[in-house]
Structure 1
């Protein structure tokens, strides 16, 4: 009996894998201009409070879960960011502090957090 308790206690401290989402965006829309094809990706690592992008890591400042919508708020140098996911459909917007201006990316996300 004591051995069973020890095994349960020892295995309950095993680290769980970090959950992440990988998002791929294929459409970029700048302000009111026509949207264009693009190839942009990011990984949402909420355990580490960051969005990993090709242009650098962004700091996650908040997450709102209102099923089925998940919204991630992030900040980075010179802009604020919003990642919204509903099922596999995703939208990522960058709101520049210079202007203001906004760029919207449309795509999909895989994985869970």
Structure 2
């Protein structure tokens, strides 16, 4: 969380925001967080949680959704990148993130092996 807050010098975008387990505490720490998630049900869970209205949430696909603005940080955590089952999908996700980033922005991907 501290690393994300440090990297988030401005607007931040979380791919696969889900229930907001990262976006909500980051927002509480004063970071403006926007999130994209494929599941409207997960977005509803996040919106129902305390502080859920502070996160700008969008229903969409992290490989294609274009919000029409740029961010200082785009991140995808908790192995959510592995929900994209093909290399082509993962490449499209990274291309989407590149389009969304400011010129000096950062992309953070957390993917851990369980083996």
Which one has the bigger helix percentage? 2
> How does the TM-score come out when normalised to structure 1?
0.26
Higher strand share: 1
Please give the TM-score of this superposition, normalised by the length of structure 2.
Answer: 0.26
